Amino acid sequence: MAKLGYGIEHWSSPAWRAEAGAWIDAQLAGAGLARTGAVRQPHLRPWATVLSAPTSAGTVWLKAAGPATAFEIGFYELLGEVAPAGVLVPLAIDVERAWMLLPDGGEPLAERFEGEELIAPFATALRRYGALQRALAPHADRMLELGIADMRPTVLVQRFDEAVQAVGERVAADGSDEDRGALRRAAGMRGEVAAWCEQLAAAPGGVSVDHNDLHPWNVLAGGPTGEDVRFYDWGDCVVAHPFASMLEPLVFMQSTLSCASGDPRLVTLRDAYLEAYADRAPHAELVATLELACRAAKITRALTWDRLLRALDPTDVDEQWKRVPLQCLAALAERSFVGSG
Residue 92's contacts (CB-CB under 8 Å, 6 or more residues apart) are 27, 30, 31, 100, 101
**C-alpha closest to that of 155 among 207, 205, 203:** 207
**C-alpha closest to that of 88 among 214, 224, 229:** 229
Distance between CA 127 and CA 264 in Å, rounded?
17
- DSSP assignment of 282-330, as one string? -HHHHHHHHHHHHHHHHHHHHHHHHHHHHHS-GGG--HHHHTHHHHHHH
Paired strand residues for 196: none
Residue 170's contacts (CB-CB under 8 Å, 6 or more residues apart) are 306, 309, 322, 325, 326
- DSSP assignment of 37-66, as one string? S--EEEEE-SSEEEEEEEEBTEEEEEEEE-
Q: What is the DSSP letter of 303?
A: H
HSE-CB of 109 using CA atoms within 13 angstroms:
29
23-32 — which CB contacts under 8 Å span 24+ positions?
A: 23/62, 23/94, 23/99, 23/101, 24/51, 24/53, 24/60, 24/62, 24/101, 27/91, 27/92, 27/101, 28/53, 28/55, 28/60, 28/91, 30/92, 31/91, 31/92
Give the residue range(s) of CATH 3.30.200 domains in the chain: 2-104
Provide the whole-model pTM.
Answer: 0.94
| Neighbour tally for 282: CB within 10 Å | 10
The CATH number of 108-333 is which of 3.90.1200.10, 3.60.15.10, 3.40.50.10210, 3.40.50.300? 3.90.1200.10
The CATH number of 2-104 is which of 3.30.460, 3.30.200, 1.10.150, 3.30.70? 3.30.200
Q: How confident is the model over 213-231, as pLDDT tens digits?
A: 999 999 998 877 777 899 9
Contact predicate 170/319, CB 8 Å: no
**C-alpha closest to that of 121 among 219, 214, 211:** 219
Q: What is the pLDDT of residue 185?
A: 97
Q: How confident is the model over 151-185, as pLDDT tens digits?
A: 999 999 999 999 999 999 999 988 999 999 999 99
Give the residue range(s) of CATH 3.90.1200.10 domains in the chain: 108-333
State the virtual CA torsion across 272, 192, 188, 319 in degrees, nearest 10.
Answer: -10
pLDDT at residue 340 is higher than 70: no
Q: How confident is the model over 45-72, as pLDDT tens digits?
A: 888 999 999 999 999 999 999 998 999 9
Q: What is the pLDDT of residue 316?
A: 67
Contact predicate 137/227, CB 8 Å: no
Q: What is the pLDDT of residue 335?
A: 83
Compute CA 39 distance to the chain's CA centroid, rounded to the nearest angstrom.
Answer: 27
